[in-house]
Chain A
Amino acid sequence: MKKTLFVAAAIIIGGLLIGALDMVHPFGNPGAAPMDNYYLENSLKELSTENIVTSIVFDYRGFDTLGEAAVLFTALCSITVLFREGRKK
């Protein structure tokens, strides 16, 4: 009884999930992307950087870079704590 209930629930939920795949955005077709187009069109005009990736990383999305630097610093701290020399005998 319990097993048939589980199987029925799994079939219903799986069917719903597979049906929901119909509404997923089609793969390889990004559609409208006003943010990306803004970066591509204006980074050279506004900032005179030839490298659009750097202008995004260090200016438009600088907060992400701050987070990355924090991640690197945290990794360094944890590795230093982990591999610290033990107490001298």
Chain B
Amino acid sequence: MNPLSLIVRVGCDIFAWFMLVFGTNVIIHGYMSPGGGFQGGAIAATFIVFLLVAYGSRRVHSWVNEGIYDVLFDELGLLSFIILAFLGLPTSFFFNYLATPLGVASPWFTPGAGTIFFMSIAVGIEVTGALSLVILNMHRGIRLFSESPMEEELGHDR
């Protein structure tokens, strides 16, 4: 799990942020274009994969506060998803109470899709946090089970 060379690090710096923005775009436009919460979340989770590949596990684990992924991403996404589902309970579970039919202007600032828009964002947040945490935990598990503890992480270029 050593950091790679300078060229790879610069390339991953650029493309990691690009993938984050692209995943957010897929999540937000999930109701009207191909994609959605799961797909966009999986794309946005490649951000941490890029950082892990380029910089090595030790440095990335010193940067990342996993409580943010755990609490803010995973639980916020899941809880808002379930709360959005329960809010339609006067009619039925998962009732789309904000939806407007085609051609009718929606009364709120929401798009006509209603709760589909918000649920897509909530599931996107949840999948981003969950997949990032899975990758971080498994990567730390590799370091845990490796035979020699890597004290010095030396790159190819130094």
Contacts and interface: CB of A to CB of B under 8 A. Distances in A.
B78 A54 contact: no
A63 B88 CA distance: 13
B18 interface: no
Interface residues of B, number: 41
Interface stretch (B46-54, B116-124, B148-156): B116-124
A53 B127 CA distance: 18
A66 interface: yes
Given A45-B102, A58-B116, A51 B33 contact: yes
Given A66-B81, A76-B74, A83-B138, A48 B34 contact: no
B144 A47 contact: no
Interface stretch (A1-9, A13-21, A24-32, A67-75): A67-75
Contacts of A55: 31, 113, 116
A62 B88 CA distance: 12
Q: How large is the interface on A (under 10, 10 to 19, 20 to 34, 35 or more residues)?
A: 20 to 34
A36 interface: no
Contact of B113 (A49, A62, A63): A49
Interface of A (DSSP majority class): helix
Given A47-B99, A59-B116, A66-B85, A54 B30 contact: yes
13 contacts: A46-B101, A47-B101, A49-B32, A49-B113, A51-B32, A51-B36, A55-B116, A59-B94, A73-B78, A79-B133, A79-B137, A80-B133, A85-B140
Interface of A: 44-51, 53-55, 57-59, 62-63, 65-66, 68-69, 72-73, 75-76, 79-80, 82-86
Interface of B: 30-38, 74, 78, 81-82, 85, 93-94, 96, 99-103, 111-116, 119-120, 123, 126-127, 130, 133-134, 137-138, 140-141, 144
